[in-house]
Amino acid sequence: MRRKRSFFLRAAEQIPFRRRGKTYIALIVLILAALAAVSVGIGVREGLEAPIRTVKAVPYESGSGYFSTGYIVRDEAVMTMDSSITSLVPAEGERVSAGQAVAMGYVSADAQTRQRKIAQLEERLKELEYASGASAAAYNKAAADMEIRDRILEMAVMLGRGNILAVGDAAPSLKGLVLRSTASEEDLSAIARQEQSIRSERDALRAQLSGQMRVVSAPASGYFSGVVDGFESVLTPRSLEALSPTELDRISEDAQPAGAFGKLVLGDTWYYVTTIPESELKETEKGDSAEVSFAHDLRASIDMKISHISQPENGRCVVVFTCGDYIRNVTMMRSQSADIVFRSYAGLRVPKEAVHVREDGKVGVYILESAAYKWKTVEILYDNGESYIVRLDKSSTRNLWPGDDIIVDDKDAYDGKVVV
């Protein structure tokens, strides 16, 4: 079977032999030119059909700060007692009044045991008093169930905020409400009899303790702490502004007074003192605010004010932060590491490769809108390394908005460019 020859071969046979060489060369050139044209066409088509890389403009927040280690400082008065057995009365961080009992000293272990029993009886009395606080006639079970639910929710919020002391204060009333919600009129009579029995037992134990216990009262109002670490007389609010970076590095605790059992934190203000490189404080001055997040013990960041910045020493400064809140939560804290944010910027996140500077000096980005490029001017607030945070201004649709498709890495971008 004869193989069919191509059109080009059949055409070549019609040409005289002497001219066939030149003709073959011309045909080859034409074929190569056609292949080149096809290749260029495919490249152009692929270029036109190549997907444009875009990212969404999304709300973003970042800031500039420094991670440091320092000390919590308070105005503290150490309390002492000459007793071999000491029992603390207030809980850690509890607010006490002047003259309120803060510690009990006992002559024997039996005396301490009696006092513990008295404390347990008084706790039980609180619960029973809450339970018998309303008569059966005036009692509304539905309302009580609602109140129990509300109390549980309140305690859950307290736990979420790390306020353990408030949870302990609220526990007796919740227990009393639960007991009352299940009690009948007959049960209320039994509760009243139990109250009287517990009071009698408590009073008898108190009588037995006469002369076997010494009470220490708070010399002033403040927040009680059962932790004495020796820094109370070394780190004081009055000494902070005189500290140099070297002195703060070398500071150490002093010997604890004999018989020290706790301390009273005076006032509501506390301080965090640390050293920070001078280079991190270029735009920071006394009176500015900063968000401080401690590595331990406190969960949330705290807004603190800068009350002092020392003169630099070897490129470092002593910085003192002040706060008037949360003092009952920091009575046990001393040496602490913290993440300090001096400035926080909120806006829209924009990749650096998407930002263009026009000939008129305006800075902006191109977004993809209805198959065309659209220019939007932006104001850069902060350089986050791989991206910028730009201002979010919803006063006009000409500004960059959340959800806009930002065109990334197109050096030939221009306003109005149509996407084929």
The DSSP-derived string for 51-110 is PPPEEE-EEEEEEEEEEEEEEEEEEEEEEE---SEEEE-SPTT-EE-TT-EEEEEESSHH
**What residue has token string 């070549």?**
12
Query: For tokens 């708070």, what's the residue?
Result: 218
| Three-state DSSP class for residue 418 | strand
What is the Cα–Cα distance from 339 to 41, expressed in whole angstroms? Answer: 58
**For residue 29, what pLDDT is reported?**
54
Lowest-pLDDT choice from 85-89, 235-239, 358-362: 85-89
| DSSP structure string for 254-270 | PPPPTTEEEEEEEEEEE
pLDDT bucket at 9, cuts 50 / 70 / 90: very low
Rounded to whole angstroms, what are the CA distances from 209 to 21, 340, 349? 130, 52, 69
* CB-based contact 105:86 (threshold 8 Å): yes
pTM over 0.75? The answer is no
Give me the half-sphere count of Cα atoms (radius 13 Å) on the Cβ side of residue 394: 6
Predicted pLDDT of residue 8 = 45
226-239 pLDDT, tens digit per residue, is: 999 999 999 999 99
pLDDT tens for each residue of 13-72:
554 544 545 555 665 656 655 555 555 454 444 444 456 889 999 999 877 789 999 999
Task: Name all contacts of 303-307 with Cβ < 8 Å and 24+ positions apart.
Answer: 304/272, 307/271
Query: Using alpha carbons only, what angle is made at residue 324 by residues 318 and 154, rounded to the nearest 5 degrees?
Result: 135
The amino acid that residue 4 corresponds to is K
**Residue 170: which pLDDT band, with cuts at 50, 70 and 90?**
low
